[in-house]
């Protein structure tokens, strides 16, 4: 489609300065090109004679030109609008008048994007207000405000579709990156809200046994980040192993994670816990240090010493053992009696969460562990493990 440009003056007339022969399409020579734009246009030759008298319609010829060069009109298309390609003599009058070719070109240009009433045809152009579907269009440097939607925009936190033609939302990308970073750290987001139940229990969504197990690590935030090991799992309740290092507060819980790994990023290498002693005038100050790995609890007991007031020596561990046989299970240890560390190995018996200490294996009888002097300092040093 070509638009034809008018001259710069109304009623402009020129004359041929050289004869225009039939079928000649290179150029036509005028007396001058003053007032003619160097752009496509239309002229009529021999509509009138030099005196202004209208000639026969068979004498006139309409010609399209593409531009000007010197005193010529170049790039000619002859015999348009039903006129005849013919010879024209020097001095023939050349006029710039509105003709059917000119007018039709304007209509064609308008109707390329407009309806017959002059409004934009939204099947052909994009307007500012109408909701439209664009097909096979390229937007160069588009500015998209507020948001985007549609089937090409996916909101998937796991990016499961794995498409090479659709895009992901900012939220889903962030969720995926955060999840990947968390997974790499050994922690898993359960996508579940945890709430305080007691100092050693946390309420979780139903079906906990399908997600968590004894020995799992957990991490949560109550102002600060806190860590524990799971001691037991019920349908909606997690029981944690107590520690002096962190306190489960009756407060909101956020950023909660769990891990099946032994040492996810940030998890403490060990915990300390204050046990309760028996057989003393005043409890020793030594704490139990423990860690949990591979389904076993590893205990390091350094009681320190204090004054004995019984032949027995007892304390408790932070979480009960899970031996198949319900009986005291024995481990060797070092003991102090009446202020002296003994050369012979002492013996520790564990059942459930109860510890009993004997001064040596000869003092053990069934579930009785004893043999200590009822005065002077006594203490124990031991390291052992048991199934959780």
pLDDT on residue 183 = 65
Cβ atoms of 224 and 258 within 8 Å: the answer is no
CA 176 → CA 161, 183, 186, 264, 357, distances in Å?
13, 10, 15, 19, 53
- Token pair 């999840």: residue: 179
Where does 271-387 sit in CATH, by number?
A: 2.60.90.20
HSE on the CB side for 382, CA within 13 Å?
28
d(CA 23, CA 79): 9
Locate 230 and state its tokens: 């799971």
SS3 183: helix
Query: For the chain, which residues make up each domain, given as ranges?
Result: 13-105, 153-184, 195-259, 271-387
User: CA 85 to CA 90: how far, in whole Å?
Assistant: 16
Per-10-residue mean pLDDT for the chain, 388 residues long?
Answer: 86 95 96 95 94 94 96 96 95 88 76 74 75 80 79 83 84 72 81 96 97 97 97 97 97 97 95 97 95 96 96 96 81 96 95 94 86 96 96
Pairing of strands 314-316, 354-358: antiparallel
* 3-class SS of residue 186: coil
The whole-angstrom separation of Cα 162 and Cα 178 is 18
d(CA 297, CA 213): 14
Kindly state the tokens that stand for 304: 């320190």
Cβ atoms < 10 Å from Cβ of 315: 23
**Sheet with 77-80, edge to edge strand ranges:** 13-15, 93-95, 41-45, 61-65, 77-80
Q: What residues are paired with 63 via a beta bridge? A: 43
- For the question of whether the overall pTM of this predicted structure is more than 0.85, the answer is no
Query: Does residue 115 contact residue 121 with C-beta atoms inside 8 Å?
Result: yes
């Amino acid at each position: 489609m070509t638009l034809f440009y008018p001259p710069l003056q109304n009623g402009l007339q020129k004359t041929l300065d050289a004869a225009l022969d039939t079928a000649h399409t290179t150029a036509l020579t005028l007396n001058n090109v003053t007032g003619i734009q160097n752009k496509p246009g239309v002229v009529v030759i021999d509509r009138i004679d030099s005196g202004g008298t209208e000639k026969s319609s068979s004498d006139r010829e309409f010609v399209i030109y593409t531009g000007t060069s010197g005193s010529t009109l170049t790039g000619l298309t002859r015999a348009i609008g039903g006129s005849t390609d013919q010879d024209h003599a020097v001095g023939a009058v050349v006029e710039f008048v509105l003709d059917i070719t000119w007018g039709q070109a304007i209509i064609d240009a308008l109707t390329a994007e407009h309806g017959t009433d002059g409004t934009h045809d939204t099947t052909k152009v994009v307007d500012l207000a109408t909701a439209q579907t664009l097909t096979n269009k390229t937007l160069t440097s588009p500015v998209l405000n507020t948001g985007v939607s549609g089937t090409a925009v996916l909101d998937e936190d796991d990016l499961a579709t794995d498409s090479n033609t659709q895009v992901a939302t900012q939220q889903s990308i962030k969720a995926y990156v955060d999840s990947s970073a968390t997974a790499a750290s050994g922690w898993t987001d359960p996508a579940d809200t945890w709430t305080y139940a007691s100092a050693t229990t946390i309420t979780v969504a139903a079906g906990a046994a399908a997600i968590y197990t004894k020995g799992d690590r957990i991490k949560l935030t109550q102002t600060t980040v806190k860590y524990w090991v799971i001691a037991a799992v019920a349908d909606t309740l997690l029981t944690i192993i107590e520690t002096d290092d962190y306190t489960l507060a009756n407060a909101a819980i956020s950023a909660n994670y769990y891990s099946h790994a032994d040492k996810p990023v940030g998890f403490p290498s060990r915990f300390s816990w204050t046990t309760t002693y028996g057989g003393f005038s005043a409890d020793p100050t030594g704490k139990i240090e423990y860690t949990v790995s591979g389904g076993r609890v590893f205990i390091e007991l350094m009681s320190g010493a204090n004054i004995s007031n019984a032949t027995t020596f007892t304390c408790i561990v932070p979480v009960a053992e899970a031996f198949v046989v319900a009986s005291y299970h024995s481990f060797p240890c070092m003991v102090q009696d009446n202020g002296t560390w003994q050369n012979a190995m002492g013996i520790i018996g564990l059942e459930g969460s109860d510890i009993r200490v004997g001064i040596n294996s000869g003092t053990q009888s069934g579930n009785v562990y004893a043999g200590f002097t009822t005065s002077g300092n006594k203490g124990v040093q031991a390291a052992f493990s048991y199934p959780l």
